[in-house]
């Protein structure tokens, strides 16, 4: 089959799929290379060629689709036949195949995911008393990751894992809720790192878990463990405004700065700060504008938290500059006790003043490039490196004022 004829057919298939609301299949057809291969010939009724249209998908994406591959193949095959078979009288089918990887480093092992880390994460779910399958039942959840019809049953009455699980978790309910972590068929605690990480991504998928605060908290707990061994979950895209997470090796996003910000939030017992830090952390590479906006909001939240704890009133109309001035005055960030005779007095004053000025600069940067403002079609946003600068500046400020706050509290308590 000539390539230009295949392209015309696929364009029509794409339109049909989109028009019928099969967006994932339409996206797959539009974004993945396809090759037509004749796989057979039937002599019946004058002769019929049998063709397979193979869509090459990255191996990681191929694995993520799991059992859904069959459904997508059927949707595409049906439209292929509608478009092609009326003219050629040949047989056509769609097939999803993993693209061959041209890597020389594939024998080098990826970072491992020790069993102790996996166990800590599972124990965390137990302590939270959360069902790993969320709003779905276990068969629905696991079918998103594994082909349960191809996995064996542990019950001799059934032929596959799907019916086995349904019998013992839905019908009889005689398995423990966390049975999946000790089931050799899924090998979550001892198998490949990617298998466990895909499982975690599904645990916080918006279809599985709709409570946004709960998802943020879980991702934070997961990453506390994963980052110790070189992995992290990150926001890959949004579905109906809700984040869908994937996994990766630790990106160079200044994890030390973010970790320090989390320490500050914990010390101030500021739950809202913790949520903003998680959002900021996920956005640095994926959405620099959001990270810049969140860095500004992080400082604002920190200032309001400290002013509240110190009993200093502020109004909703006060902007970030007003809030930082109040914090600077309350905590005496620019001390008046530094005399001209003190070695480096001018330098000390300048550094402290610059720290407070950072907040004003961040607010202006957010206004120019951050979230919350409409843009014309030619607008080009800032890059992740600019977001890292904003984040590092914000963390330097909140770290300093939080440390000063604790020093003031300790000094006053000792009086």
Does residue 406 share a domain with residue 295?
A: yes
Of the segments 10-14, 235-239, 276-280, 398-402, which one has the largest average pLDDT value? Answer: 10-14
Tell me which DSSP letter residue 251 carries. Answer: P
Quote the pLDDT of residue 325.
83
Closest CA relative to residue 306, chosen from 329, 285, 286: 329
* Residue at 109 is within a domain: no
- 48 phi and psi angles, rounded to 5 deg: -135, 125
Quote the pLDDT of residue 50.
86
Does residue 316 share a domain with residue 366?
A: yes
Give the span between the Cα atoms of 381 and 368, in whole angstroms: 9
The model scores a pTM over 0.75:
no
Does residue 316 share a domain with residue 241?
A: no
* Residue at 257 is within a domain: no
The mean-pLDDT minimum among 162-171, 232-241, 359-368 falls in 359-368
Does residue 301 share a domain with residue 215?
A: no
Neighbouring residues of 260: CB distance < 8 A, sequence distance ≥ 6: 395, 399
For residue 211, give the H/E element and its range. Answer: none
* Residue at 265 is within a domain: no
Q: What angle do CA 224, 259, 303 make, to 5 degrees?
A: 125
Closest CA relative to residue 118, chosen from 203, 181, 175, 183: 181
Give the tens place of pLDDT for each residue, 87-103: 777 888 999 999 887 76
- Do residues 274 and 265 touch, judged by C-beta distance below 8 A? yes
First to last CA, the chain: 88
Does residue 158 share a domain with residue 74?
A: no
> Average pLDDT over the chain, rounded to whole?
80
Give the tens place of pLDDT for each residue, 251-309: 444 445 555 555 565 556 555 565 666 666 666 666 777 777 777 888 888 888 889 88
Does residue 203 share a domain with residue 147?
A: yes
Neighbouring C-alpha atoms within 13 Å toward the C-beta of 153: 15
Give the span between the Cα atoms of 321 and 326, in whole angstroms: 9
Quote the pLDDT of residue 375.
45
Quote the pLDDT of residue 100.
84
pLDDT higher than 60, residue 336: no
Quote the pLDDT of residue 55.
92
Does residue 403 share a domain with residue 309?
A: yes
Does residue 129 share a domain with residue 94?
A: no
**Sheet order of strands, 34-42 included:** 34-42, 48-57, 91-98
Give the tens place of pLDDT for each residue, 342-401: 555 567 667 766 766 766 676 676 666 655 444 444 445 567 777 777 777 787 788 788
Give the span between the Cα atoms of 264 and 41, in whole angstroms: 70
- Count of domains forming the chain: 3
- Do residues 208 and 193 touch, judged by C-beta distance below 8 A? no
* Residue at 261 is within a domain: no
For residue 314, give the H/E element and its range. Answer: none
* Residue at 107 is within a domain: no
Q: What angle do CA 316, 257, 114 make, to 5 degrees?
A: 125
Could you tell me whether strands 34-42 and 91-98 are parallel, antiparallel, or unpaired per DSSP bridges? unpaired
35, 67, 98: which is the final residue of a domain?
98
- 315 phi and psi angles, rounded to 5 deg: -110, 165
Does residue 183 share a domain with residue 70?
A: no
Tell me which DSSP letter residue 112 carries. Answer: P
Quote the pLDDT of residue 376.
45
Reported confidence tier of residue 143, pLDDT bands at 50, 70, 90: very high
Reported confidence tier of residue 106, pLDDT bands at 50, 70, 90: low
Distances (CA, A) of 22 to 52, 55, 85, 113, 337: 21, 17, 21, 36, 70
Does residue 217 share a domain with residue 245?
A: yes
Strand partners, 40: 50
Mean pLDDT of all residues in 131-139: 93
Tell me which DSSP letter residue 110 carries. Answer: P
Does residue 391 share a domain with residue 304?
A: yes
Q: What angle do CA 232, 234, 235 make, to 5 degrees?
A: 170
Question: Could you tell me the maximum CA-CA distance found in the chain, to the nearest angstrom?
Answer: 105
* Residue at 91 is within a domain: yes
Strand partners, 95: 54
Q: What number of other Cβ atoms are within 10 A of residue 270's Cβ?
A: 23
Does residue 127 share a domain with residue 190?
A: yes
Q: Return left, alpha or beta for 265; rule: phi > 0 is left, psi -120 to 50 is alpha, else beta.
A: alpha
* Residue at 195 is within a domain: yes
* Residue at 364 is within a domain: yes
Give the span between the Cα atoms of 169 and 76, in whole angstroms: 34
Residues spanned by the domain of 358? 280-373+382-413
Give the span between the Cα atoms of 179 and 313, in whole angstroms: 52
């Amino acid at each position: 089959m000539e390539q230009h004829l295949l392209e015309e057919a696929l364009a029509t298939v794409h339109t049909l799929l989109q028009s019928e609301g099969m967006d994932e299949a339409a996206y797959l057809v539009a974004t993945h290379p396809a090759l037509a291969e004749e796989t057979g010939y039937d002599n019946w009724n004058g002769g019929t060629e049998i063709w397979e249209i193979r869509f090459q998908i990255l191996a990681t994406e191929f694995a993520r689709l799991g059992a859904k591959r069959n459904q997508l193949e059927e949707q595409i095959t049906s439209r292929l036949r509608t478009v092609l078979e009326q003219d050629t009288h040949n047989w056509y089918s769609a097939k999803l195949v993993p693209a061959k990887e041209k890597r020389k480093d594939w024998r080098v092992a990826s970072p491992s995911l020790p069993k102790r880390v996996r166990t800590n994460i599972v124990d965390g779910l137990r302590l939270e008393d959360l069902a790993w399958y969320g709003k779905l039942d276990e068969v629905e959840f696991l079918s998103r990751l594994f082909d349960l019809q191809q996995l064996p049953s542990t019950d001799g009455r059934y032929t596959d894992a799907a019916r086995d699980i349904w019998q013992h978790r839905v019908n009889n309910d005689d398995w423990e809720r966390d049975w999946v972590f000790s089931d050799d068929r899924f090998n979550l605690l001892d198998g490949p790192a990617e298998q466990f990480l895909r499982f975690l991504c599904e645990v916080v998928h918006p279809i599985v878990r709709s409570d946004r605060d709960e998802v943020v908290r879980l991702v934070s707990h997961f990453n506390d463990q994963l980052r110790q061994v070189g992995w992290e979950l990150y926001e890959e895209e949004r579905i109906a405004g809700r984040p869908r997470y994937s996994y990766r090796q630790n990106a160079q996003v200044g994890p030390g700065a973010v970790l320090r910000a989390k320490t500050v939030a914990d010390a101030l017992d500021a739950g809202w700060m913790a949520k903003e830090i998680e959002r900021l952390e996920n956005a640095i590479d994926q959405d620099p504008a959001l990270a810049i906006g969140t860095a500004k909001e992080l400082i604002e939240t920190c200032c309001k938290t400290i002013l509240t704890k110190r009993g200093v009133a502020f109004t909703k109309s006060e902007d970030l500059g007003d809030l930082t001035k109040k914090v600077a005055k309350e905590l005496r960030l620019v001390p008046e006790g530094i005399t001209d005779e003190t070695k480096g007095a001018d330098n000390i004053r300048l550094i402290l003043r610059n720290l407070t000025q950072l907040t004003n600069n961040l607010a202006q940067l957010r206004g120019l490039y951050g979230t919350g403002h409409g843009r014309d079609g030619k607008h080009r946003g800032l890059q992740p490196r600019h977001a890292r600068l904003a984040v590092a500046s914000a963390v330097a400020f909140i770290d300093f004022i939080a440390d000063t706050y604790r020093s003031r509290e300790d000094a006053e308590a000792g009086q």
